[in-house]
Structure 1
Amino acid sequence: MGILDTVTDMMAGSTQHAPGNAGDDGSEGSYWCGDCGVRVRDVAVDDEGLDRDDNGTPACPDCGESMRFERASGTGCAC
């Protein structure tokens, strides 16, 4: 069963996040502006100083429209 155990271990390890991938800092995705194409990671919204509406949705820093949230896939960045 040595080969089977090795393959099983490799497959289990492939689901782990590598350093620098999404999830290392608590990010769950990014906010996007469909009009301007501006992207701001969810963990950077406050650092960017973006205004928020009554629901907490950030406004685009370029045009002021509400941004939409898209979750990270967990396999890399939220690009």
Structure 2
Amino acid sequence: MSQNNYLIDKRVILDCERMTLSCAGESITISESERSLLIAFHEGLFKKDDLINYVWGRKGVVVSDASYYKLINQLRGSFDKIGL
């Protein structure tokens, strides 16, 4: 597995370069924000404020809690699309 890939829960592959999630032969393209959120989780960030700062704050973007919750739901939908 390349350094641009992450293995999630021993069955999902996050390809950061292609911005895809793959599991059991299913693959979908995810957004840059979804990719950043997954990397933040991998790096051990789990508090809402830390995640908001990691995904948006480093770019100088200020977002509301609604944007955070929308991204969480978007990511859940992406996992659902690959059968999880």
Report TM bin, short chain.
under 0.3
TM-score by length of 2: 0.22
Q: When you count helix as a share of all residues, which structure comes out higher?
A: 2
TM-score by length of 1: 0.23
Higher-RCO chain (CA-CA 8 Å, sequence separation at least 6): 1
Q: When you count strand as a share of all residues, which structure comes out higher?
A: 2
Rg larger in 1 or in 2? 1
